[in-house]
Structure 1
Amino acid sequence: MGTEAVTAELRRLNTSGLLALFTTLEAPTISEIDGEYTAALLAQPNLFAVATGKVAVANPLGPWLCKAFQPVDENSGRGYNTFSEFGRVRQRYPMRTLLAPSRYDGAAAYTLIYRAYTSMCGSLHMVDEVRRAAPGVYLGIGTWGFTDAQRRVPRPFLLTGPVGSYRGDIGKARHDFTPGPRELPGPPV
Protein backbone atom coordinates (compact mmCIF):
# COMPACT_ATOMS: atom_id res chain seq x y z
CA MET A 1 0.00 0.00 0.00
CA GLY A 2 1.40 3.44 -0.95
CA THR A 3 1.98 6.35 1.41
CA GLU A 4 -1.21 8.19 0.37
CA ALA A 5 -3.30 5.04 0.76
CA VAL A 6 -1.88 4.37 4.23
CA THR A 7 -2.51 7.97 5.28
CA ALA A 8 -6.09 7.80 3.93
CA GLU A 9 -6.68 4.54 5.82
CA LEU A 10 -5.42 6.06 9.09
CA ARG A 11 -7.74 9.05 8.60
CA ARG A 12 -10.68 6.70 7.95
CA LEU A 13 -10.31 4.48 11.03
CA ASN A 14 -12.01 5.17 14.35
CA THR A 15 -10.04 5.18 17.60
CA SER A 16 -10.58 1.46 18.25
CA GLY A 17 -9.41 0.61 14.74
CA LEU A 18 -6.34 2.84 15.09
CA LEU A 19 -5.43 1.24 18.42
CA ALA A 20 -5.88 -2.26 16.96
CA LEU A 21 -3.65 -1.32 14.01
CA PHE A 22 -1.08 0.27 16.34
CA THR A 23 -0.54 -3.06 18.10
CA THR A 24 0.43 -4.67 14.76
CA LEU A 25 3.05 -2.05 13.82
CA GLU A 26 6.77 -1.87 14.58
CA ALA A 27 8.61 0.93 16.34
CA PRO A 28 10.96 3.05 14.29
CA THR A 29 14.56 3.21 15.46
CA ILE A 30 15.91 6.25 17.26
CA SER A 31 18.05 7.11 14.21
CA GLU A 32 15.11 6.75 11.79
CA ILE A 33 13.15 9.62 13.32
CA ASP A 34 15.16 12.75 12.54
CA GLY A 35 13.71 16.12 11.51
CA GLU A 36 10.28 17.72 11.49
CA TYR A 37 7.15 15.64 10.77
CA THR A 38 3.80 17.14 9.83
CA ALA A 39 1.31 16.36 12.59
CA ALA A 40 -2.46 15.95 12.64
CA LEU A 41 -5.03 14.55 15.03
CA LEU A 42 -6.86 11.41 13.98
CA ALA A 43 -10.20 10.08 15.28
CA GLN A 44 -10.53 10.79 19.00
CA PRO A 45 -12.19 8.41 21.49
CA ASN A 46 -14.80 10.72 23.00
CA LEU A 47 -16.25 14.23 22.96
CA PHE A 48 -13.90 15.44 25.72
CA ALA A 49 -10.85 14.31 23.70
CA VAL A 50 -12.25 16.02 20.60
CA ALA A 51 -12.80 19.27 22.51
CA THR A 52 -9.41 19.28 24.24
CA GLY A 53 -7.72 18.38 20.96
CA LYS A 54 -9.36 21.31 19.21
CA VAL A 55 -8.28 23.71 21.94
CA ALA A 56 -4.74 22.35 22.27
CA VAL A 57 -3.63 21.57 18.73
CA ALA A 58 -6.39 22.34 16.22
CA ASN A 59 -6.87 25.90 17.42
CA PRO A 60 -7.05 28.25 14.41
CA LEU A 61 -5.21 30.94 16.43
CA GLY A 62 -2.22 28.68 16.96
CA PRO A 63 -2.45 25.51 14.88
CA TRP A 64 -0.15 22.55 15.48
CA LEU A 65 2.25 22.13 12.59
CA CYS A 66 4.60 19.31 13.46
CA LYS A 67 6.63 17.30 15.88
CA ALA A 68 10.40 17.32 15.47
CA PHE A 69 13.03 14.89 16.63
CA GLN A 70 16.78 14.50 16.78
CA PRO A 71 18.73 11.45 17.96
CA VAL A 72 21.13 12.19 20.83
CA ASP A 73 22.69 8.72 20.86
CA GLU A 74 21.63 5.23 19.77
CA ASN A 75 19.19 4.91 22.68
CA SER A 76 17.60 8.33 23.05
CA GLY A 77 16.77 11.63 21.45
CA ARG A 78 15.09 14.99 21.93
CA GLY A 79 12.18 16.71 20.34
CA TYR A 80 9.60 19.45 20.38
CA ASN A 81 6.28 20.47 18.81
CA THR A 82 5.83 23.48 16.54
CA PHE A 83 2.83 25.75 16.24
CA SER A 84 2.00 28.69 14.02
CA GLU A 85 1.39 31.76 16.15
CA PHE A 86 0.44 34.92 14.28
CA GLY A 87 2.33 33.79 11.19
CA ARG A 88 5.48 32.75 13.04
CA VAL A 89 6.63 29.23 13.78
CA ARG A 90 7.07 28.62 17.51
CA GLN A 91 8.67 25.63 19.18
CA ARG A 92 6.85 24.35 22.26
CA TYR A 93 6.68 21.35 24.59
CA PRO A 94 10.10 19.68 24.54
CA MET A 95 10.37 15.96 25.09
CA ARG A 96 12.87 13.14 25.55
CA THR A 97 12.58 10.21 23.15
CA LEU A 98 13.50 6.58 23.69
CA LEU A 99 12.35 3.08 22.83
CA ALA A 100 10.20 1.62 25.61
CA PRO A 101 7.50 -1.02 26.11
CA SER A 102 4.10 0.21 24.95
CA ARG A 103 1.31 0.60 27.47
CA TYR A 104 -0.95 -1.16 24.95
CA ASP A 105 0.91 -4.39 24.15
CA GLY A 106 4.34 -4.35 25.81
CA ALA A 107 6.17 -4.32 22.45
CA ALA A 108 8.67 -1.55 21.66
CA ALA A 109 7.34 1.89 20.83
CA TYR A 110 9.17 5.10 19.99
CA THR A 111 8.20 6.95 23.16
CA LEU A 112 8.01 10.71 23.77
CA ILE A 113 8.27 11.68 27.43
CA TYR A 114 7.33 15.30 28.08
CA ARG A 115 7.87 15.15 31.86
CA ALA A 116 11.65 15.16 31.28
CA TYR A 117 11.29 18.91 30.66
CA THR A 118 9.47 21.75 32.36
CA SER A 119 6.34 22.52 30.32
CA MET A 120 2.56 22.31 30.46
CA CYS A 121 2.70 18.91 28.70
CA GLY A 122 5.22 17.66 31.25
CA SER A 123 2.98 18.84 34.10
CA LEU A 124 0.10 16.88 32.55
CA HIS A 125 2.24 13.69 32.39
CA MET A 126 1.92 13.56 28.59
CA VAL A 127 3.47 10.56 26.87
CA ASP A 128 3.21 9.72 23.18
CA GLU A 129 3.97 6.37 21.58
CA VAL A 130 4.81 6.16 17.87
CA ARG A 131 5.01 3.27 15.42
CA ARG A 132 5.70 3.10 11.68
CA ALA A 133 2.62 2.53 9.47
CA ALA A 134 4.61 2.91 6.22
CA PRO A 135 7.87 4.59 5.19
CA GLY A 136 7.45 8.23 6.23
CA VAL A 137 4.04 7.60 7.86
CA TYR A 138 3.75 7.12 11.62
CA LEU A 139 0.80 6.40 13.86
CA GLY A 140 1.02 7.95 17.30
CA ILE A 141 -1.06 7.37 20.38
CA GLY A 142 -0.88 10.16 22.94
CA THR A 143 -1.89 10.01 26.58
CA TRP A 144 -2.02 12.54 29.40
CA GLY A 145 -3.58 12.97 32.79
CA PHE A 146 -3.12 12.93 36.52
CA THR A 147 -4.68 9.53 37.18
CA ASP A 148 -4.08 6.08 35.70
CA ALA A 149 -7.60 6.14 34.22
CA GLN A 150 -6.97 9.49 32.49
CA ARG A 151 -3.64 8.21 31.11
CA ARG A 152 -5.33 5.15 29.58
CA VAL A 153 -7.41 7.25 27.14
CA PRO A 154 -5.76 6.90 23.70
CA ARG A 155 -5.51 10.09 21.60
CA PRO A 156 -4.36 9.06 18.09
CA PHE A 157 -2.34 11.30 15.79
CA LEU A 158 -0.56 11.09 12.45
CA LEU A 159 3.02 12.07 11.62
CA THR A 160 4.36 12.27 8.05
CA GLY A 161 7.80 13.18 6.85
CA PRO A 162 10.37 14.30 7.48
CA VAL A 163 9.37 17.62 5.95
CA GLY A 164 12.14 19.77 7.43
CA SER A 165 15.21 19.84 9.62
CA TYR A 166 15.34 19.85 13.40
CA ARG A 167 15.49 23.52 14.45
CA GLY A 168 17.42 23.04 17.70
CA ASP A 169 16.89 21.99 21.29
CA ILE A 170 14.51 23.91 23.52
CA GLY A 171 13.36 23.65 27.11
CA LYS A 172 14.71 23.25 30.58
CA ALA A 173 15.37 19.66 31.64
CA ARG A 174 14.04 18.55 35.02
CA HIS A 175 17.02 17.93 37.28
CA ASP A 176 17.65 14.20 37.90
CA PHE A 177 14.42 13.15 36.14
CA THR A 178 13.98 9.39 35.69
CA PRO A 179 10.87 8.06 33.93
CA GLY A 180 8.55 6.23 36.31
CA PRO A 181 5.38 4.16 35.93
CA ARG A 182 3.34 7.24 34.93
CA GLU A 183 5.58 7.65 31.88
CA LEU A 184 6.49 4.02 31.20
CA PRO A 185 3.69 1.82 32.49
CA GLY A 186 4.35 -1.06 30.11
CA PRO A 187 1.43 -3.26 29.13
CA PRO A 188 -1.90 -2.88 30.92
CA VAL A 189 -2.61 -5.35 33.70
Structure 2
Amino acid sequence: MDPDNAAAELRRLDTSSLLALFTTLEAPTIAEIDGEYTAALLAQPNLFAVTTGKAAVANPLGPWLCKAFRPVDEHGGRGYNTFSEFGRVRQRYPMRTLVAPSRYDGAPAYTLIYRAYTSLCGSIHMVDEVRRAAPGVHLGMGTWGFTDAQRRVPRPFLLTGPVGPYRGDIGTARPDFTPGHRELPGLTPTAPTRAKEL
Protein backbone atom coordinates (compact mmCIF):
# COMPACT_ATOMS: atom_id res chain seq x y z
CA MET A 1 0.00 0.00 0.00
CA ASP A 2 1.16 3.53 -0.77
CA PRO A 3 2.50 5.16 2.42
CA ASP A 4 0.31 8.28 2.11
CA ASN A 5 -2.79 6.17 1.52
CA ALA A 6 -1.85 3.87 4.39
CA ALA A 7 -1.48 6.76 6.83
CA ALA A 8 -4.78 8.29 5.68
CA GLU A 9 -6.54 4.96 6.11
CA LEU A 10 -5.23 4.57 9.65
CA ARG A 11 -6.49 8.04 10.54
CA ARG A 12 -9.95 7.10 9.25
CA LEU A 13 -10.43 3.89 11.25
CA ASP A 14 -11.98 3.55 14.70
CA THR A 15 -10.16 1.79 17.54
CA SER A 16 -11.74 -1.62 16.97
CA SER A 17 -10.85 -1.54 13.29
CA LEU A 18 -7.30 -0.41 14.06
CA LEU A 19 -6.83 -3.28 16.48
CA ALA A 20 -8.26 -5.75 13.97
CA LEU A 21 -5.85 -4.42 11.34
CA PHE A 22 -2.96 -4.53 13.80
CA THR A 23 -3.40 -8.29 14.21
CA THR A 24 -2.87 -8.74 10.44
CA LEU A 25 0.38 -6.76 10.25
CA GLU A 26 4.00 -7.86 10.66
CA ALA A 27 6.55 -6.54 13.11
CA PRO A 28 9.46 -4.54 11.74
CA THR A 29 12.91 -5.82 12.57
CA ILE A 30 15.14 -4.17 15.16
CA ALA A 31 17.50 -3.02 12.38
CA GLU A 32 14.63 -1.56 10.34
CA ILE A 33 13.53 1.00 12.94
CA ASP A 34 16.22 3.66 13.21
CA GLY A 35 15.81 7.42 13.69
CA GLU A 36 12.98 9.76 14.63
CA TYR A 37 9.41 9.03 13.50
CA THR A 38 6.64 11.60 13.53
CA ALA A 39 4.02 10.49 16.07
CA ALA A 40 0.28 11.14 16.32
CA LEU A 41 -2.62 9.65 18.24
CA LEU A 42 -5.27 7.78 16.28
CA ALA A 43 -8.87 7.02 17.31
CA GLN A 44 -9.01 6.28 21.04
CA PRO A 45 -11.25 3.64 22.64
CA ASN A 46 -13.15 5.79 25.15
CA LEU A 47 -13.49 9.26 26.62
CA PHE A 48 -10.96 8.54 29.36
CA ALA A 49 -8.35 7.55 26.77
CA VAL A 50 -9.15 10.63 24.69
CA THR A 51 -8.79 12.91 27.71
CA THR A 52 -5.59 11.37 29.07
CA GLY A 53 -4.11 11.15 25.59
CA LYS A 54 -4.72 14.81 24.90
CA ALA A 55 -3.33 15.80 28.27
CA ALA A 56 -0.18 13.74 27.71
CA VAL A 57 0.67 14.43 24.09
CA ALA A 58 -1.58 17.18 22.72
CA ASN A 59 -0.81 19.88 25.26
CA PRO A 60 -0.35 23.07 23.21
CA LEU A 61 2.46 24.13 25.54
CA GLY A 62 4.40 20.94 24.84
CA PRO A 63 3.06 18.92 21.92
CA TRP A 64 4.33 15.44 21.14
CA LEU A 65 6.54 15.33 18.06
CA CYS A 66 8.25 11.98 17.62
CA LYS A 67 9.25 8.62 18.88
CA ALA A 68 12.86 7.74 18.11
CA PHE A 69 14.78 4.48 18.07
CA ARG A 70 18.23 3.03 17.53
CA PRO A 71 19.26 -0.61 17.29
CA VAL A 72 21.76 -1.77 19.91
CA ASP A 73 22.17 -5.26 18.45
CA GLU A 74 19.99 -7.76 16.59
CA HIS A 75 17.95 -8.41 19.73
CA GLY A 76 16.94 -4.92 20.80
CA GLY A 77 17.57 -1.23 21.06
CA ARG A 78 16.80 2.02 22.81
CA GLY A 79 14.53 4.98 22.23
CA TYR A 80 12.84 8.12 23.50
CA ASN A 81 9.99 10.53 22.76
CA THR A 82 10.36 14.18 21.75
CA PHE A 83 8.18 17.15 22.63
CA SER A 84 8.27 20.78 21.58
CA GLU A 85 8.71 23.14 24.53
CA PHE A 86 9.00 26.86 23.90
CA GLY A 87 10.41 26.28 20.44
CA ARG A 88 12.96 23.68 21.53
CA VAL A 89 12.89 19.92 21.09
CA ARG A 90 13.00 18.04 24.39
CA GLN A 91 13.70 14.34 24.76
CA ARG A 92 11.60 12.49 27.33
CA TYR A 93 10.41 9.03 28.36
CA PRO A 94 13.20 6.65 27.34
CA MET A 95 12.44 3.05 26.52
CA ARG A 96 14.03 -0.29 25.66
CA THR A 97 12.96 -1.97 22.43
CA LEU A 98 12.75 -5.61 21.45
CA VAL A 99 10.61 -7.88 19.32
CA ALA A 100 8.28 -9.87 21.56
CA PRO A 101 4.89 -11.63 21.40
CA SER A 102 1.98 -9.20 21.35
CA ARG A 103 -0.46 -9.08 24.26
CA TYR A 104 -3.26 -9.09 21.67
CA ASP A 105 -2.47 -12.07 19.43
CA GLY A 106 0.85 -13.59 20.54
CA ALA A 107 2.51 -12.81 17.20
CA PRO A 108 5.74 -10.76 17.09
CA ALA A 109 5.50 -7.02 17.70
CA TYR A 110 8.19 -4.36 17.94
CA THR A 111 7.80 -3.60 21.64
CA LEU A 112 8.70 -0.47 23.62
CA ILE A 113 9.21 -1.05 27.35
CA TYR A 114 9.31 2.14 29.40
CA ARG A 115 9.71 0.42 32.77
CA ALA A 116 13.37 -0.21 31.95
CA TYR A 117 14.04 3.45 32.79
CA THR A 118 12.98 5.85 35.50
CA SER A 119 10.18 8.08 34.18
CA LEU A 120 6.47 8.72 34.55
CA CYS A 121 5.80 6.31 31.67
CA GLY A 122 7.81 3.62 33.42
CA SER A 123 5.95 4.23 36.67
CA ILE A 124 2.58 3.60 35.01
CA HIS A 125 3.85 0.44 33.26
CA MET A 126 3.57 1.85 29.75
CA VAL A 127 4.31 -0.56 26.91
CA ASP A 128 3.84 0.16 23.20
CA GLU A 129 3.59 -2.41 20.43
CA VAL A 130 4.35 -1.44 16.82
CA ARG A 131 3.78 -3.15 13.47
CA ARG A 132 4.41 -2.09 9.88
CA ALA A 133 1.36 -0.92 7.91
CA ALA A 134 3.35 0.21 4.84
CA PRO A 135 6.93 1.27 4.12
CA GLY A 136 7.62 4.11 6.55
CA VAL A 137 4.17 3.85 8.15
CA HIS A 138 3.70 2.01 11.44
CA LEU A 139 0.63 1.34 13.56
CA GLY A 140 1.19 1.32 17.30
CA MET A 141 -0.89 0.16 20.24
CA GLY A 142 -0.02 1.92 23.46
CA THR A 143 -0.94 0.44 26.84
CA TRP A 144 -0.52 1.47 30.46
CA GLY A 145 -2.09 0.76 33.80
CA PHE A 146 -1.80 -0.93 37.15
CA THR A 147 -4.03 -3.96 36.49
CA ASP A 148 -4.16 -6.52 33.69
CA ALA A 149 -7.51 -5.14 32.55
CA GLN A 150 -6.16 -1.59 32.34
CA ARG A 151 -3.13 -2.78 30.38
CA ARG A 152 -5.28 -4.55 27.78
CA VAL A 153 -6.94 -1.31 26.62
CA PRO A 154 -5.38 -0.33 23.27
CA ARG A 155 -4.49 3.30 22.63
CA PRO A 156 -3.62 3.45 18.92
CA PHE A 157 -1.01 5.77 17.45
CA LEU A 158 0.67 6.41 14.11
CA LEU A 159 4.40 6.61 13.36
CA THR A 160 5.75 7.84 10.02
CA GLY A 161 9.31 8.21 8.91
CA PRO A 162 12.11 8.25 9.68
CA VAL A 163 12.12 12.06 9.52
CA GLY A 164 15.43 12.67 11.27
CA PRO A 165 18.39 11.05 13.00
CA TYR A 166 18.45 9.63 16.51
CA ARG A 167 19.59 12.38 18.89
CA GLY A 168 21.27 10.23 21.53
CA ASP A 169 20.39 8.05 24.49
CA ILE A 170 18.71 9.51 27.57
CA GLY A 171 17.45 8.14 30.84
CA THR A 172 18.45 6.40 34.05
CA ALA A 173 18.14 2.64 33.82
CA ARG A 174 16.39 0.74 36.59
CA PRO A 175 19.01 -1.56 38.15
CA ASP A 176 18.64 -5.24 37.26
CA PHE A 177 15.38 -4.67 35.38
CA THR A 178 14.04 -7.63 33.40
CA PRO A 179 10.65 -7.43 31.65
CA GLY A 180 7.98 -9.49 33.37
CA HIS A 181 4.36 -10.45 32.80
CA ARG A 182 3.16 -6.86 33.23
CA GLU A 183 5.30 -5.75 30.31
CA LEU A 184 5.13 -8.87 28.15
CA PRO A 185 1.97 -10.87 28.91
CA GLY A 186 2.26 -12.71 25.58
CA LEU A 187 5.70 -14.07 26.45
CA THR A 188 5.99 -17.71 27.48
CA PRO A 189 7.91 -18.30 30.72
CA THR A 190 10.78 -20.04 28.91
CA ALA A 191 11.30 -17.50 26.12
CA PRO A 192 14.28 -15.15 26.70
CA THR A 193 13.81 -11.43 26.15
CA ARG A 194 17.45 -10.26 26.39
CA ALA A 195 16.13 -6.79 27.24
CA LYS A 196 18.16 -6.81 30.46
CA GLU A 197 21.37 -6.89 28.42
CA LEU A 198 20.71 -3.70 26.43
- State the partner residue of 1:32: 32
- State the partner residue of 1:134: 134
Measure, in 2, the Cα distance between the counterparts of 1:109 and 1:5: 22
TM-score, structure 1 as length reference? 0.98
Measure, in 2, the Cα distance between the counterparts of 1:64 and 1:73: 27
What does the per-residue CA deviation read over 1:108-165, in whole Å, with 9 as the maximum and x for residues that have no partner? 0000000000000000000000000000000000000011111011000000000000
- State the partner residue of 2:90: 90
- State the partner residue of 1:166: 166
Name stretches of at least 5 consecutive residues in structure 1 with no aligned partner.
Answer: none
The DSSP-based 3-state class of the residue aligned with 2:146 is coil
Q: CA RMSD in A?
A: 0.7
The DSSP-based 3-state class of the residue aligned with 1:8 is helix
- State the partner residue of 2:121: 121
The DSSP-based 3-state class of the residue aligned with 1:91 is strand
How many residues were matched structurally?
187
Give 1:166's aligned amino acid.
Answer: Y
TM-score, structure 2 as length reference? 0.94
Give 1:97's aligned amino acid.
Answer: T
The structure 1 segments of at least 4 consecutive aligned residues displaced by more than 3 Å after TM superposition are none
Check if 1:105 corresponds to 2:105: yes
Give 1:122's aligned amino acid.
Answer: G
What does the per-residue CA deviation read over 1:27-53, in whole Å, with 9 as the maximum and x for residues that have no partner? 000000000000000000000000000
Measure, in 1, the Cα distance between the counterparts of 2:164 and 2:66: 10
Deviation of residue 76 (structure 1)?
Answer: 0.5
The DSSP-based 3-state class of the residue aligned with 2:80 is strand
Measure, in 1, the Cα distance between the counterparts of 2:86 and 2:156: 27
Deviation of residue 62 (structure 1)?
Answer: 0.4
Measure, in 2, the Cα distance between the counterparts of 1:88 and 1:147: 36
The DSSP-based 3-state class of the residue aligned with 1:72 is strand
Name stretches of at least 5 consecutive residues in structure 2 with no aligned partner.
Answer: 188-198
Check if 1:147 corresponds to 2:138: no
Measure, in 2, the Cα distance between the counterparts of 1:55 and 1:136: 27
Give 1:114's aligned amino acid.
Answer: Y
Measure, in 2, the Cα distance between the counterparts of 1:90 and 1:182: 28
- State the partner residue of 1:60: 60
Check if 1:72 corresponds to 2:47: no
Measure, in 2, the Cα distance between the counterparts of 1:152 and 1:2: 30
Measure, in 1, the Cα distance between the counterparts of 2:3 and 2:69: 21
- State the partner residue of 2:190: none
Measure, in 2, the Cα distance between the counterparts of 1:120 and 1:49: 17
